[in-house]
Structure formats: C-alpha cells, structure tokens
Structure 1
C-alpha cells in the first residue's frame, strides 16, 4: 500500500470544496456537474463517510440568472448578485441530492462567525450534529453581508478553516485546473503535473504563478496557501479536476490523479484557531530575552519581558507579540487586559500580586495559547 492509499484509507471525514469555474459555465450553473457531484457525495455518505461540501458559485450564478454581462462589480452589486445566485445554487443542489435520497443543509459563514471563540464552537456543534444525522452541510461564504473587512477572500481559505472546525481527515479541492504544474499550463504547454508535494517551500509557491481562477477569486496561489494551512494541522489536501466524471471514486480507488499535499507538522486544533481565526486586538513589544524564551526555548510569555503595550483589549483577546524592531514573532491569547498588563509589565512573579492587588497566574500568554509566526502559513495577498 503506497502513501496515497494509506492516507485515503484513514480518511473518513471529508471536506470537498468545489470552485465557481467547475460548477458554472457560459449558460449559468452546470447542472450536469452538480448532478454528478451530488450523486458521488451521496454514495460516499451511504458508505459511512462524513462529508461537508464547500461550494462557490453564488455570485457567478446570480450574474447569469440576471443576464448581466461580465464587468467589474461594486461590493454592493456583488452582494446583490450573491443574494440572487445563492438561492438558485442551493435550490439546484437540493434538487439533485433529493433525487438520491440525501438530506442537505445550507450554512453561510463570514469570518466574524469563526473569529469569536463561542460562535466558532456553536458553528462546530451545528456541523457535528448535522454529520451525526447523516446530513451533508453545504457551506458558502455569506457574500450578501460580508463586507471587505470580514470576507474570507475566497473559498479555498474557507474550506481550510472548515477542516480545522470539524477536525476533517482530508481536504479535496475540485478545480478547473487538474493539478499543480511545475509551470502555469495556461502559459506553458510543456508544463508537467506535480503528483506529490512533501513540503510547501518557495519553489512550490513559485509554481502557482499569480493568476486568479477563471471565475472565482482564488486560483492556484490561494490553493497553495490553503494547503499550507491544513497540512500544518496534520491534514492532507488533494487538488483534482472537478469536471472529470467519477472524480472522487477515482481518487479513492488509488488513481494518481491531481496533486496530493502530504501532511506536515501537527498543530493542535486550538492553536490552529488562534493562528487563523481571530484578528489581533493589540500588541505587546518584548525585550530580546522574552523573544528568545518564546522562539528558542518554547516558554510562556511572562510580564518581565514586556516593554510596551499597544492598543486596548480585554482579557482573552488575541494579541501580537512584537520584537523591539516591530516584527511580529507570535500571536496568542492574553490572560490579562491591556490595562492590567500596563501595571505589571517588566515585573517579576513576586511583584504581580502587589501591583494588581489579587493573586493571579504569572503568564501573560501561556505557551498552549501561543503560536509562533513561523508556524503560521501566511494568507496575505
């Protein structure tokens, strides 16, 4: 049994992401593709797999339904297109899934839903209940209300976050490009597919090029970033051609189709959430000794190493840890508010109780609630 077969044999909880360019065409939604995908996912569910579908296509579908030509749209227009298209998108999915006797549920998310820890856990509980009931959740970004500040940016990022949300075993990205190539095949006819990626380094990132997808906001660059995220969680990812018939069966039969990104180091689910979900509300400037303690020795952050507090935040907020040159070295959850840290910064353990007037723990950020920047796959554009 080769590496691919071993990974697939252990993969029972799946996140399948399908892009706009796969399920839409010149005439709107591709009912043939959606019908085939619905049939495949139903067969997998009937075999005992737990399946979550992340589907793009609402904006593209809305534009086709309204008969609008291709052109740049304002944010408000995109939201209106999403509102129109999402209704048709979920209606089409439900039509086909119902034919095969499979129940589905619609879930629309924004980044805010996953940034707050309580809302994150509520979303997780809902999804886990649906999976327990053998219902296939169909997830999309809630473009109708997602302003720029709370957008995921593309559904590659959303699907990676869903992997962490439900503890999935595998992410499959169904794309209009059938694999990662050593060069962009749209510009280089002699480009060759890369079947396995053991480590995502600068060479692999360079293969992605810079062009977005045909209809969506993503492209190979965003898929590489998503792969960096999920593999850091210890989860493999496969990019495969979404319009190929029986694509999921072909993947699980062991056929070497598409590109498989092998899992890398294992990040805990909580650290994954800290790394990618909450937006930092403030920052702590650390001295050289504190930086070394975090980066080289794997220690918690103590008040003695804090030189400056930036921003106003409450206890439990996500904050950045900066070195004296302003470079971010870590993010973590603070055990104190900014006001409290102002009082105890630079203090040693014996002085903290005196400054705050109560007996408290001495770590500002516990190591279990801290992620080094070098561990985080950047999702910046």
Structure 2
C-alpha cells in the first residue's frame, strides 16, 4: 500500500537527517516457544550491519536475557521472584550475546556488550562515562548491544523494561531517532488483542491523554513492557526533539521499509525540545528531598521561567547535600518541578523565606541567591 503523502511529508525530514540510530528489540520479537529466534536475530544482524556499512551509527538495545534463560533451563512460564529473574538473566545473557556475535560476525560487523543499571545513569559522572564509552565504540564502527544488567539490578533501581532503557540511551548519546521493534505492529486506536476493529495510528503529532488511553494497560507477551511503556518512552525522547517509531520487529527488512517512507508502524513526531542536561534531571536522578513553595514561587517557575529563590520556600523535607536532585512541590503537595539545588538542606533551612540581601549575611557565603537556577530546573506536566 502506498504511503499517505501527508504522513510521509511529516516523517521524511527526520528520516533524511537521521545518522545516529538506536534500535530497541523486545523479548517477544527475538524469542519464541523454542528459545531464541535465530531467523529474527539473523535478519536483524544483517540489516544493522548494512546500515553501519552505509555510514549510520547504530546502537542496539536488546531484551531477551531472562526469556532466553528460562528456555535454556526448560522452566515453564510463570511468575518469577526477583532472585529467580536475576538467575535467569545470568543464564540467558551469555547465550543472547553469543548469538548476536555469531550472526553479526557473518556480516563482518564487530559488536560490543554493555550492561547498565539505573544507578549507572543516575550518577552524573557514571552517566558521562557510559556516554563516552558508547560514543568511542561508534567512532570505531562497533555496534554496542545494550541490555539492563538484570543480574544485579534490584527492584528499586530497575528500568522496568528496555523501552525506558532505550529512551535513556537515546538521550544519553544524542541519537537522531529511536526505533522500537515490537510484536505489536503499531499503536492502535483500540487494543487489537481485544477489538478486531482496531485501526493503526500512523503518525502521532502530540502525546496527550487520548493517545495514552490508546495504549491500554496490558504488558507484552514475554516482556515486562507493553504499549504503555512505549508511550512513556516516546514522551521522553520526543521531549528532546527526537522522533520515535514503533514497528513490527519480525517483518523482514523493516528498517529499510521505515527509511524508504513506507507507511508502517507508528511515527511519533518530536515535541518542544529540552536540553540534554534537563533531560537527565527529569528522568535519571531520584529526588533526595523536597521543597514546599508558596504560590508566588510556583507562578515564578511555571509562568515566568524564573529560578527558585529562597523567599518562595516555605518548608524543607529530607536531608540532602548541595547538588542533590530535589522535588519542588506546591502547598497542596503537587509536584511542580525537579531541580539540582545550590545549597544543602541544612543551608536552605536557614535561608528559606529570606530575600537575597539577607542570605550572604546568614551563611557567610559568596553572593548566590538562587536555590535552583532555571538551567538546572525542569517543570513537570
């Protein structure tokens, strides 16, 4: 079927500019009832190798270690404990990367394995180290294959699914596009597993409540994600000015079809762009405390894009050091923003409610009256 010209015109500029690509493949795509799908891995390896030879920088985020481990051990499908999942991941990860290396080698492409936990990306220093490693591999024409390090990731630091990991990697390296290869062909206006009249949505210009309702709540067949996590990932990357595609992962030559402009899958157009630093603040560190703001301070942040000053702070919650990520809440407890503070919780206790002329006298500090500078502050929806 020929592509709709209006849809193609919206997608074409982003596809033509894309040179650094993140491809995410889910468990349900690369594994089946008999374990790893050799045909899918072979097709994916061939296609990504071809893109790399053509000058594209390619990063692969691959699920499948837990599912691969379960098949390898011959365990039936059931709910597994965290410890069991970690053991399954340890069993399956070796076979997963070995299969990729075997098939990529047939096409003359070198690959590297990178395992990440959320903690690796929450710490700014480790975040930059991971970024530099991936970029160095890309300069060496090596394809990084990234997965969550399930074996050591406790529940509190898990990404939850690789859709979110792929979104974070996309922001980490400043990719031009994220392509999520799924067992579901596209975003549908209704759940196609429940309603045969469901129709695919080919282009999403803005992710609003209508789009979010289309995602439903069911996870995928084998993975921990589903359409809900893919919509969340799309919100993350489009906020960086980067498009995202959901497409059928088992369809041969799927990347060629996407870049040829075929009307396939769902294309999420970029939204208003935020900086990479604000993206990291919004999605990576976990808040260590909270600041309760008065109405005037909330308006200054939301309506006038101002920095947070001590005069607008009514209460400090938690204990944290200078540079910590903290929540900014209104007087009803609703989150207004996230930001990196210039003062510790103890210092803010002393200066809250004060005007700038009083601050230096109270703390004996150099002139710095902003508790959170606007460049280190991200407004919440």
Q: What TM-score do the two structures reach when normalised by structure 1?
A: 0.97
Determine the C-alpha separation between the residues in 2 that align with 1:235 and 1:309. Answer: 36
Q: Indicate yes or no: 2:369 matched with 1:337.
A: no
Which residue does 2:273 correspond to in 1? 266
- Match for 1:209 among 213, 216, 220? 216
The superposition leaves residues 293-316 of structure 1 with CA deviations (integer Å, 9 ceiling, x where unpaired) of 101111000011111111000000
1:106 matched residue in structure 2: 113
- Is residue 142 of structure 2 the alignment partner of residue 135 of structure 1? yes
SS of 1:230's partner is: helix
Query: Is 1:17 matched with 2:40?
Result: no
Deviation digits for residues 70-113 of structure 1 (CA, Å, limit 9, x no counterpart): 11111000000000000000000000011111111100001000
Q: Deviations over 1:232-274 (max 9, x none)?
A: 1111000000000010011111111100000011011000000
Residue in structure 2 matching 1:38, options 33, 45, 56: 45
The residue that corresponds to 1:156 in the other structure is: 163
Secondary structure, counterpart of 1:140 in structure 2: strand
State the shift of 1:360 in Å. Answer: 3.3
Match of 2:85 among 75, 78, 86: 78
Q: Aligned partners of 1:72, 1:2: CA distance in 2, in Å?
A: 45
SS at match of 1:296: helix
- Partner residue in 2 for 1:197: 204
Give the distance between the partners of 2:102 and 2:70, measured in 1 at CA: 21
2:4 equivalent in structure 1: none
Aligned counterpart for 1:371 among listed residues 368, 371, 378? 378
Aligned to 2:287: 280
Task: Identify which of 230, 233, 258 aligns with 1:226.
Answer: 233
Structure 1 residue 324, shift from structure 2 partner: 1.1
The alignment's TM-score, normalised by the length of structure 2, stands at 0.97
CA distance in 1 between counterparts of 2:365 and 2:288 reads 25
> Structure 2 CA distance, aligned partners of 1:318 and 1:277?
10
Q: Distance in 2 between matches of 1:325 and 1:206?
A: 27
In the alignment of these two chains, the number of paired residues is 374
Match of 1:7?
Answer: 14
Task: Point out 4+ residue stretches in structure 1 off by more than 6 angstroms.
Answer: none
Distance in 1 (CA, whole Å) between partners of 2:274 and 2:282 is: 10
Q: Distance in 1 between matches of 2:326 and 2:217?
A: 31
Give the C-alpha shift of residue 358 in structure 1: 2.4
Instruction: Look up the match of 1:171.
Output: 178
Q: Which of 228, 253, 257 is 2:264 aligned to? A: 257
Deviations 1:332-356 (A, max 9, x none): 0000111111111111111111111
Aligned to 1:293: 300
Deviation at 1:282, TM superposition (A): 0.4
1:146 to 129, 148, 153: 153
Match of 1:377 in 2: none
State the distance in 2 between where 1:163 and 1:355 align. Answer: 44
Partner of 2:36: 29
Secondary structure class of the residue paired with 1:260:
strand
CA distance in 2, matches of 1:283, 1:273: 18
Question: Deviation per CA, 1:182-205, whole angstroms, max 9, x where unpaired?
Answer: 111111111111110001111111
CA–CA distance in structure 2, aligned partners of residues 47 and 21 of structure 1: 29
Aligned residue among 163, 180, 183 for 2:187: 180
- Greater displacement, 225-234 / 53-62: 225-234
Q: SS state of the match for residue 2, structure 1?
A: helix
Distance 1:223 1:358 in 2: 46
Give CA-to-partner distance per residue, 1:132-171, whole Å, 9 cap, x none. Answer: 1110000000000000000000000000000100000000
